[in-house]
Amino acid sequence: MNIQATLSLVLILYFANHIIASDKDVQQYLDEQEKINNFPIKHLGYQQIVDTFYQLEKEYPHYIKVYDAVQQFNNETLPKAYCSENQSPQDLCKFIYAVITNYSDPKHVNFTQSFFSGNFHGDEVVGPNVLTYMAKYILEKPDLNILSKSFIVILPMSNPQGYSNNNREECSLKNGKYNCIDINRDFPYDTSERECFQSVGARIINFIWKKYLFTAAITFHGGMTAIGWPWGSTNHMISRSKGEISPDQNAFYTLGKRMSEIGGQYPNIPKYGYDILNDIVYPVKGSFEDWSYAASWERQIDPSFSSFFPKCQGISEEELYISESTARSLTYLIETTDLKSPGEHTYGTWQQIQRNDKGQGHVTRNIRLTLDFINNLSPSYEVATHKSANYTFYVKWAAEGCHQVSNTKLLVRESDLQSNTANNTYYSLQQLLDDGFKIYQEYTDYQGKVKDITSFKSQIIEFDDPRDRVIDIAIFSECDSFLTEKNSYAKPTIEPQSHFVRSRSNDSYIAENNGFFINSNKYIIKSLGPFQVSNYSLYTEPGTNQTDTSQSKNDYDYLIALFSIITVGALISYCIYKKFDSLGANNISFQELHNEDHQLQQLPKSQQQQQQQNQQKKVYNRDGGVNQYQLSQEEDGL
C-alpha cells in the first residue's frame, strides 16, 4: 500500500470512528476493526525474527524471556556460524530461544514443558514464521489459559545461518574450515561418531534439552505435507518400505491425528497425512525425533541398542551425558508445505488463527494446531462460575487436554470458615476424601470423548441452610487411561516410555531435571470455593410469621449450585480461543448455556412446590443443627 492510500485509509477510519460515536453504527465499526485486526501475515527475515522476540520480551517481561543460546552455552569448541558476509564477532548468528510461561506464578516450574524448533533446514521457511507469530499471539491474548499451565520453549531458528542465506544446511567455520551440515542428521542416534554434534544447531538443541525437561516437541520442515513421529530411523525398519512402531504409538497416533484435524483442510491446503516417519517420510540416520524420544531409555532396555548411540568426535562426555529424564519426548516432525518457500500470500491472515474456515493459511493453521497440541499436554478443567441474584451458583466445566475422560465424580464439602482449607492442591481422590470432601455424584457411565461436543449433563445441588458454613466443590476425572495400554506390536515390546504416557498411567509419577518437574496427569482435579452466603442480616427469625415466599427468596440464606459438564469437542480449544466464560464464535458460549440453564430453572410443578417447601423449611428451621443437603436434581436437563 502506498502512502497516499494509507493516509486515505487512516482518514476513512478516523471518520468511521467519528460517525460511530454519533450514529451508533456498531456493525460498521466492527467491520472496520476486523479489517485492521485481520492483517495478512508477512514473511519475517532472520533479523526481523530476532527483533520481534526481543520486542516481545520488552513488552511482556512477566511472560517471556529471550536468551542467546551461544552466549549462554559459552563453549569454545562450538563452530562459528555467521549470518552476514563479515566474520566479525557481531556477525555471528544469534541462536535465540524464548521461554514463554507465567513467571509470576511460582508453580511455573511444574508446568508442562514443550519444545518447538522453527527450522533445521534453512530453506524451509514456514516454521520460523509459525513460531514467531505464535509467540505474539499467545502474549497478546493473556486471557488464553495456555499461559496458566504451559512452559513453552521456542527456538525459532535452529539454523539461522541457513535461514538468512536460504540454504538447507548449516555452513559453519571450524578450525579455519567451512563445513556444511544437515542438522537433522547430526544427532547421536543410529549414526557414526564422526557424524554427530558437528553443527552448532544440534549442539545448541542438546544444550537446551539438558537444561529443561520436555514432555513433547514439534520441529517444522517443508517440502511435503505430513505429520510424522518416531520411529524414523534406519534401525527401525521391518522391510525396505515399512517401519516399526514405538512403545508410545497409541499416544503418538492420537495426538498426530488430532493435529491433522485441527489443522483442517481447505481449497488450496490439503489435510495433513499422519503416520510414523519411516512410513510417511523416510528413514534417516541421526534424526532429532528418534534421539529426543528414545535417548534416555532405549539403550537401557537392551545393551545391544547401545550401538545406536555413538559418542561424538570432539564432544566431551559431560556434553554428551543425558539423564534418564532428558529424552522421553513425544516428538513430532511437521512437513508444513509441499513448497519449501510457499510465498507470504499463502501464510494466512491474523484472525484465521481462531477460525477454521476459508482464507486459511500455512502459518495460521500451524499456529492453531500447535496451540492445541500444547494444550493437550496438560489436562485441566476449565470452569466458569456465575452467581445469580437468588443465590444460585452456576458451575460449568469442560475437560481439556484429554481425549477421553472417565470415572468422573462431583464432590462437595461443607465446613466452617475457620477450618476451611480452600486452595489446597489435590492429586488424588483419597486426598479429597481425607480433606472432608464427600462424593455427591458419580458419572460412571459417562465417557467423554473428543468430538462429543453435545454430551453434557447437569446437576442441581441445593444446599440446605448453609449459614455459618462454606461450601467447596471438587471435580475429579481420570484422563486418557486408554493411552497407557501396552502395544504388542511395538518395538521394543515394552510399556510406553514417554513422560506423556507415563504421567497419565502412574498416579505418583514424578520426573525431575534442574529444578523442573513433571507430575502425574492420571487424574484431573479441580476444586472450587469456598462459596459463602453473606446476606445474614436479612435472615428471618423463626416465629416472626414470615410467610411471603417471594420476599423470603431474596432474604434467606441458601445456595443452589447447578453443574454441567461439557466435553470439549475436536475443534474447540480454550487455548486458542478465550477463556471458558467468553468463548469464540466456534464455541458453545457461556451465554447460550446460561439461557439453557434458565430453562432448567422452570422446574416441573411438583419440584417447584418441593423447592418452595424447602425454602420455607430453611426459613423456619434455622436451628436445625445438622446440615443435611436437601437435594433436588435434574439429569440431562441441558
Please report, as ranges, the residues that interact with Zn ion according to CB under 5 A: 121, 124, 221
Least distance to Zn ion from the beta carbon of 366, Å?
14
Alpha helices in 237-345 (DSSP H): 249-263, 277-280, 288-294, 298-301, 317-320
CA distance 538 to 87: 80
| Beta strands at 523-531 and 470-479: parallel, antiparallel or unpaired | antiparallel
With b for 16 or more beta-carbon neighbours within 10 A and e for fewer, the 51-75 pattern comes to ebbeebbeebeebbebbebbeebee
DSSP secondary structure code for residue 42 in this structure: P
DSSP secondary structure code for residue 194 in this structure: G
Identify which of residues 341 and 447 has a Cβ nearer to Zn ion in the complex.
341
Identify which of residues 136 and 185 has a Cβ nearer to Zn ion in the complex.
185
Nearest of 333, 329, 222, 223 to residue 276 by alpha carbon: 333
Least distance to Zn ion from the beta carbon of 207, Å?
21
Identify which of residues 221 and 522 has a Cβ nearer to Zn ion in the complex.
221
CA distance 296 to 189: 11
Least distance to Zn ion from the beta carbon of 121, Å?
4
Q: Is 8 helix (H, G, I), strand (E, B) or coil?
A: helix
Identify which of residues 339 and 631 has a Cβ nearer to Zn ion in the complex.
339
Identify which of residues 221 and 285 has a Cβ nearer to Zn ion in the complex.
221
Q: 558 in the Ramachandran plot: left (φ > 0), alpha (ψ -120 to 50) or beta?
A: beta
Cα 496–Cα 499–Cα 502 angle in degrees, nearest 5? 50
CA distances from 384 to 23, 286, 375 (A): 35, 47, 18
Least distance to Zn ion from the beta carbon of 335, Å?
7
Least distance to Zn ion from the beta carbon of 17, Å?
46
Identify which of residues 221 and 457 has a Cβ nearer to Zn ion in the complex.
221
Least distance to Zn ion from the beta carbon of 155, Å?
15
Least distance to Zn ion from the beta carbon of 202, Å?
14
Maximum pairwise Cα distance, the chain:
99
Q: Are 83 and 160 in contact (CB under 8 A)?
A: yes
Q: Are 261 and 365 in contact (CB under 8 A)?
A: no
Identify which of residues 127 and 379 has a Cβ nearer to Zn ion in the complex.
127
Identify which of residues 322 and 334 has a Cβ nearer to Zn ion in the complex.
334
Least distance to Zn ion from the beta carbon of 119, Å?
7
Q: Which residue is nearest to Zn ion (CB)?
A: 221
